[in-house]
Amino acid sequence: MKYAQNILETIGNTPLVKLNKVLGEDFPAMVLAKVETFNPGNSVKDRMALKMIEDAEKDGRLKPGGTIIEGTSGNTGMGLALAAIVKGYKCIFVTNAKQSKEKNDILRAVGAEVIVCPTDVTPEDPRSYYSVSKRLGEEIENGWYVNQYDNLSNRQAHYEQTAPEIWEQTDGKLTHFVAGAGTGGTVTGCGTFFKEKNADIKVIGVDTYGSILKEYHETGEFHPEHAHSYITEGIGEDIIPQNYDMSVIDHFEKVTDKDGAIYARKLAKEEGIFCGYSAGSAIAALIQMKDKFTKDDVIVVLLHDHGSRYVGKIYNDEWMKEMGWL
């Protein structure tokens, strides 16, 4: 009999799927989508969530019966919650008001306590989801604050798992890797692995307007006052997480909130791949950069999470009309 001992053993080994329509007939290169929705928590974050927990168990930061505390836009929380169920931990997740209701409902469905903080406050503000999660980590007895932004097990998970899978699936033939950039774990972990294998592979981070990642990459200067709120979920930052190694990223491509939403919907309708907001942003980024690619290129684009997280927003016609996007 072939079966997994528990749900955590099903993380990884996600498929690579050729995109055929959504990029248009005149798109020059082959584009292969790494569809991370096949993970049990329906996102790429399952990989790093388990890695962060296992590493914390090994060095004693997370003790038996402990409480896992994290600030999350939803997906990391889901991965942490699944591991917590199997391993016997409690979870408290702190999120912000712009995240979809579905994400919070899903986290509660798997047994987590969810605290929602205001969106339009600075990271240093005591009401921000960064500050609240950090404070709870200090106050709660036997609590462990994960801090996915600065926890280097995040990028290590992708260096050890995600990138080697892609390398094997493409037989080492990829020329470009494209991924949404948020905490920096995926784009840096995969980027580091690919650069070690072949320095000519181009690593592209997908950013959003309102985020400061692209500016920091290009100037080396951190201007938090240049950040402003945006609607896209899962990518962009108003801080520079320690998981970033900007030297392995060749380019950041910014995508508007509207284009991310529209191309997520097109991906679902034209490819049958039902993914989230950042996946739409990644597709839009490829189209914006079309002139940079050739017929000999093999592009791998990572699709982070599932469309079910966004049925009340980008997949809801009324919401899209309210935004003026439909």
Q: 205: which strand partners?
A: 179, 252
Residue 10 predicted with pLDDT over 90: yes
Q: What pLDDT, in 10s, does the model give residues 230-288?
A: 999 999 999 999 999 999 999 999 999 999 999 999 999 999 999 999 999 999 999 99
- What distance in Å separates the CA atoms of residue 214 and residue 220, rounded to the nearest whole number? 10
Catalytic residue annotation? 45
Residue 77 predicted with pLDDT over 90: yes
Q: What pLDDT, in 10s, does the model give residues 98-151?
A: 877 888 999 999 999 999 999 888 888 999 988 999 999 999 999 999 999 999
Residue 193, both tokens: 């692995």
Residue 131, both tokens: 């500050």
Provide the 10 A C-beta neighbour count for residue 239.
18
Report the chain's mean pLDDT, rounded to a whole number. Answer: 96
Residue 160 predicted with pLDDT over 80: yes
Query: Nearest-CA neighbor of 237 among 262, 254, 261, 258?
Result: 254
- What distance in Å separates the CA atoms of residue 66 and residue 143, rounded to the nearest whole number? 6
The structural domains of the chain, ordered by start, are 7-38+162-323 (3.40.50.1100), 45-145 (3.40.50.1100)
> What is the pTM for the complete model shown?
0.95
Residue 73 predicted with pLDDT over 80: no
State what percent of residues in the chain have pLDDT above 70: 100
At 62, which helix (H) or strand (E)?
Answer: none
- What distance in Å separates the CA atoms of residue 47 and residue 206, rounded to the nearest whole number? 20
Report the relative pairing of strands 67-71 and 143-145 from DSSP bridges: parallel
